[in-house]
Amino acid sequence: MIRYELSAEDLADTRFAISPVQELVCSVWALRDPGRYTLHLPWRRAALAALDPDDLALLLSLVGNDRGLPDFLTPRPATFAPDLAEQLDEIRRTPPDLVERDIVATHAPGPVPAVLRAATLSDLADLLGRYWSAAMAGDWPRMRLVMEADTTYRARQLAVGGARLLFADIHPNVSWADGAVRIERMIGRYRVSAAGRGLLLLPSVFAYKAVPPMSSAEAPWLAYPARGVATLWHRAVPPGPDVMAALLGPPKATLLQLLAEALPTVELARRLRVTPGAVSQHLRVLHAGGLVTRVRDGRHVLYRRSDLGNRLVEGA
């Protein structure tokens, strides 16, 4: 068990942060252990396809046999949402003795993999930068929204029920009692007094359980599974005709369906068997809403779905 003892001042200094490098490093678990990360299989397939084989081998070497990760790769954020480049610079400034300590502790009692032993600190920081560009940058805005929604929920829990309610549903392994946060079922065992350093809480897309640092020398922080991760890779079902009609009204929905090709008002009126005036009225509304474009061709004005209109019809 790991126990964080918090004074009233530490509890008042408890805060949240969203850490890009924390997510980046924790995502290596999903690459290594897909059975534990079935929700992330769509992301994993795309990531593996984008990664260089040598980079993948070095990334996987970061994870210990007990799924530990070196603490120096997840520096404690000083702000709510630090920039990845800032965090990578902080990693590059890690003292060599701490790098050695964390890598050895991650793989103890076994040996450090040769590919990892041959890598420099600069190699590892550069690796994380390439990994971010290949596998994480495009999905980060959606991941961040999930984590921000979690922090909003947790802040409400704290406001309504204090620390007890805040920690009640972070994870089954986490509990609050007698001025301390307890994290059960951990490989490591230590007891730490926050001693004025507060507690940092990090919602995570890739943490499969509550994750504190491996070393008791680190200032107290705790990553935990964010709420709503199951919705992250969900793709909305394209709207059917009934949904389009409910949104726009049947005449406008029908017009939008017809305008996959450029057509004049008179042709639209003929196909719909209504007057050109009735069609023009609906087209004005669709054009004002950015759903169709128009261009003059001789005596006629041709209408066609815009990119926004296409996305609406196709459910993109």
pLDDT digits (tens, 9 = 90+) for 123-141: 999 999 999 999 999 999 9
As a whole number of Å, the end-to-end CA separation of the chain is 47
Report CA 244 to chain centroid distance, whole Å.
30
pLDDT digits (tens, 9 = 90+) for 64-95: 998 999 999 999 999 999 999 999 999 999 99
Of 185, 187, 74, nearest to 124 by C-alpha is 74
Report the C-alpha dihedral over residues 214, 216, 220, 222, rounded to 10 degrees. Answer: 20
| Segments of the chain with pLDDT less than 50 | 316
Residue-range domains of the chain with CATH: 2-231 (no CATH), 241-314 (1.10.10.10)
Query: What pLDDT shows up at residue 246?
Result: 76
Nearest-5° Cα angle at 171, 200 to 203: 40
Query: What pLDDT shows up at residue 316?
Result: 46
Q: 192 has which bridge partners?
A: 4
Query: What pLDDT shows up at residue 298?
Result: 74
Cα–Cα dist 8/6, whole Å: 7
